[in-house]
Amino acid sequence: MCDEDIDIHKLDNRYFDVPPFNLLFSRKVDEGSFGCVYRCIDTYTDAVYACKVMDKEKNADTWEREVSNLLDMYSDDPNHEFVMHAFACAKTPSTIFLVLPYLGGGTLLDKVMQQRRFPEAEARRVLLQIARGIEYLHSKGICHRDLKLDNILCSEEENYRVVICDFGFSKKIRQGLHTGNRGTLEYMAPEVLEATGEEDYDEKCDIWSYGVIVYTVLTGCFPFYVVNPDESVNREKTAALIARGAYNTGNLDTLGVSPEAREFIASLLVVDPSARPTAQQITSSSFRAASWLCSSMKPGQK
């Protein structure tokens, strides 16, 4: 790995050593405040990977956390289907290179925007995978803190698999309760929204965010969302709805969302974190409100 100054936005057709890989960066597939993601080919094997490239200075608060959690998850369970992991990491004085699986199907947000909303059978299949990913994270002592459609990747095949990614805001649960306002407003739990650095919250904030994902996949709309005349989000009014747990039931009525799915949403979007189910309960057919979700399981499947 070279120590030259690198423009992370212009790496197409360049080679980088990220041991044990020698990567040809073929094209940029994503770009954001974190940096860029490139589709890459390992010149040793011709295998295709993704490489997330981050500027150390711009991501000083997040890159170490993300690198640690992604590498830990690969060492713990390199074959987990629904959670992203990293194969390798390399650093220069200014840049981080993370080698990841390449999925190629875009984000779940892309799918929702294409389809507007999912039929309940397809929604159950996808949402059960996400729930199992959350269950795995929590079992490994990791709270994601920024679960959203943008942070769920899809594989390329027609019967696609989904994978939770982007761990820049994640935190180890065993480090204690979390403080600080982290995440994306539309998905943010009331206790996170109101955190000032003194209030505490735990991994149940991920369950709330999952509830927002469930609602959005089924309706194509956010459950908590108020817009200004210029169609920008009214953050103050949206936050007030979140604080009260006053989600939009009109969309559920208009679109004919089933009573069972509505009960499941109601069990997740509960203002009191202690009243929300755990991820393990959500994936268990013994949790009554999750019977809608778990009806997508094959007989004998756990």
Do residues 43 and 71 touch, judged by C-beta distance below 8 A?
no
Q: What is the pLDDT of residue 231?
A: 86
Out of 101, 119, 140, a domain closes at 101
**Does 153 map to a domain?**
yes
**Does 73 map to a domain?**
yes
* Regions in the chain scoring below 70 on pLDDT: 1-5, 74, 77-78, 174-181, 196-199, 296-302
Out of 101, 118, 134, a domain closes at 101
Number of domains making up the chain: 2
**Looking at the chain, how many residues does it have?**
302
Q: What is the pLDDT of residue 93?
A: 85
Please indicate, yes or no, whether residues 93 and 158 belong to a single structural domain of this protein: no
Spatial separation of the C-alpha atoms in residues 300 and 274, rounded to whole Å: 30
Please indicate, yes or no, whether residues 247 and 146 belong to a single structural domain of this protein: yes
Please indicate, yes or no, whether residues 142 and 270 belong to a single structural domain of this protein: yes
**Does 117 map to a domain?**
yes
Q: What is the pLDDT of residue 10?
A: 78
**Does 2 map to a domain?**
no
Spatial separation of the C-alpha atoms in residues 117 and 79, rounded to whole Å: 30
- Give start and end residues of each alpha helix (H) in the chain: 63-76, 108-115, 120-139, 190-193, 204-219, 235-244, 250-254, 259-268, 279-282, 291-294
Assign residue 85 the CATH number of its domain.
3.30.200.20
Q: What is the pLDDT of residue 300?
A: 45
Q: What is the pLDDT of residue 107?
A: 95
Q: What is the pLDDT of residue 199?
A: 58
Q: What is the pLDDT of residue 224?
A: 96
Please indicate, yes or no, whether residues 29 and 173 belong to a single structural domain of this protein: no
**Residue partners of 162: CB distance under 8 A and separation at least 6:** 82, 108, 126, 129, 130, 133, 152, 153, 154, 155
**Does 7 map to a domain?**
no
Condensed to tens digits (0 to 9), the pLDDT of residues 73-89 reads 767 766 788 999 888 88
* Closest-CA residue to 145 (of 229, 61, 81): 61
**Does 6 map to a domain?**
no
What backbone torsions phi and psi does residue 233 show, to the nearest 5 degrees? -70, 135
* Residue-range definition of the domain harbouring residue 68: 15-101
Please indicate, yes or no, whether residues 65 and 199 belong to a single structural domain of this protein: no
Q: What is the pLDDT of residue 186?
A: 95
Task: Report residue 18 as tokens.
Answer: 């990220």
Do residues 267 and 207 touch, judged by C-beta distance below 8 A?
no
